[in-house]
Amino acid sequence: PTNGFVTLGGYDLSQQRDKARTVVGYCPQFDSLHDLLTVEEQLELYARLKGIPSKHVKDAVDQKIQEVGLTEYRTKLTRGLSGGNKRKLSTAIALMGSPRIIFLDEPSTGVDPSSRRKMWDVIASVCASKESCVVLTTHSMEECEALCTRVGILVDGKLKCLGSVEHLKQKFGRGYIVEVKLREPSSPTVARLQLEVYRVLGTNSARISSDHVMSLCSSLGVPSRAQEIMNGEGNGAVLHSYLETSGVIPIDVFCSWWHSENMGATLREFFQTKFAGSQLIEHQGDHFRFQVPKQSLRPFAIFGLLEENKEQLQVSEYGVSETSLEHIFNTMAAQQGEERLMGSGRYEGGW
């Protein structure tokens, strides 16, 4: 903006900047601490700077040390703390004195999962008290969902959206995410396939050379898989690695892979038939992730169809969830990347 005015805590920043600072607590992205002070001394310094009466300073310091889990480090110099503990201390400083506005820039970066949860509880309790407004920046969508009542997504410095987590999911979510894991190929099925491969090759050799890959895939009905194997594309990279290292593929490995691909093809066809507009968005080994439009079916109907066809599809486990906030964020970031490439004339499409 090139004109207008900004108020912070009711103070005009162009005229009352010093007063505005008195109502703000700030945890920077990169720790700015005094290396030669202990944790306790550091918090005492900021408690006094924030105007906490002398008789209450010790209690305020003790409370913050306990809240963020730094009790065993209270007499340790700041320069000797780990990165995670420095983040805890920076957060404690920001919260000291219960300022009306608290800015937390990546507060949980480098903090172990257990301590991160504890830190979230502290921040959540501050928000619940209604005494402070917390503005949090983070790359963790899990942190957003755990703490935030309103979320804004910034991409390349531009605000792409703003609203509650549920509002963003409703507006930008593309339906439901269905995750499916298939069973391991059964031994009898693989054994029958091996007999068919022996018949096609006209030999009982336990290995398949690169010369026979194309003819074998064609005889088994899916010639396109030969291209995947020879070029190392998609799941064909698994077999391609055997050809690169030894020049041959063990027949049992090939048959297990082929049957897994057949199972995957059956699963994809099932989703295309039963869930109109569904898309496969991720496939790794026996794990599949599909996106199903909300207009297609409700979650209970998706569960019902999968349960009815579980044996036929050889599904070992599955789950249905709404589009995650992380998926929305990544989609927006990817779209911005496409726009940037198109603007530079280097975008070729096909993403």
pLDDT tens digits, one per residue of 170-210? 888 778 889 999 998 888 888 999 999 888 888 778 889 98
- Domain containing 326 — which CATH number? 3.30.70
pLDDT higher at 57 or 326: 57
Residue 291 lies in domain? 176-183+263-342
* Residue 130 and residue 141 share a domain: yes
- Domain containing 231 — which CATH number? 1.10.238
Nearest C-alpha neighbor of 267 from the set 301, 320, 315: 315
Q: Is residue 226 part of a domain?
A: yes
pLDDT at 338 over 60: no
pLDDT higher at 45 or 169: 45
DSSP output for 1-37: --S---EETTEETTT-HHHHHTTEEEE-SS----TTS
pLDDT higher at 299 or 257: 257
* Residue 191 and residue 204 share a domain: yes
* Residue 141 and residue 52 share a domain: yes
* Residue 252 and residue 320 share a domain: no
Q: Is residue 162 part of a domain?
A: no
Q: What is the pLDDT, as a whole number, of residue 347?
A: 43
Q: What is the pLDDT, as a whole number, of residue 225?
A: 93
pLDDT at 351 over 50: no
* Residue 286 and residue 335 share a domain: yes
* Residue 106 and residue 86 share a domain: yes
**What mean pLDDT do residues 154-162 have?**
85
Q: What is the pLDDT, as a whole number, of residue 41?
A: 93
Where residue 349 falls among pLDDT bands split at 50, 70, 90?
Answer: very low
- Give percent of the chain above pLDDT 70: 95
Where residue 346 falls among pLDDT bands split at 50, 70, 90?
Answer: very low
* Residue 135 and residue 23 share a domain: yes
**What mean pLDDT do residues 101-123 have?**
89
* Residue 144 and residue 33 share a domain: yes
Q: Pick the last residue of a domain from 231, 261, 291.
A: 261
**Minimum mean pLDDT among 60-64, 134-138, 140-144, 338-342: which range?**
338-342
**Minimum mean pLDDT among 88-97, 152-161, 299-308: which range?**
152-161
Q: What is the pLDDT, as a whole number, of residue 343?
A: 55
Q: Please, where are the H alpha helices in the chain?
A: 17-21, 39-49, 54-68, 83-95, 113-128, 141-147, 165-172, 187-201, 210-219, 224-231, 237-246, 251-274, 299-308, 310-313, 325-344
Q: Is residue 203 part of a domain?
A: yes
pLDDT at 229 over 90: yes
**What is the rounded distance in angstroms from the CA atom of residue 293 to the CA atom of residue 278?**
6
Question: How many domains are contained in the chain?
Answer: 3
**Integer distance in angstroms from the first to the last C-alpha of the chain?**
34
Q: What is the pLDDT, as a whole number, of residue 159?
A: 86
Where residue 230 falls among pLDDT bands split at 50, 70, 90?
Answer: very high
Q: Is residue 169 part of a domain?
A: no
pLDDT higher at 157 or 248: 248
Q: Is residue 161 part of a domain?
A: no
Element housing 180 (H / E):
strand 176-182
* Residue 210 and residue 97 share a domain: no
**What is the rounded distance in angstroms from the CA atom of residue 304 to the CA atom of residue 318?**
12
- Which string of b and e fits 20-48 if b means at least 16 CB within 10 Å? beebbbbbeeebebeeeebbbebbbbbbe
Q: What is the pLDDT, as a whole number, of residue 306?
A: 93
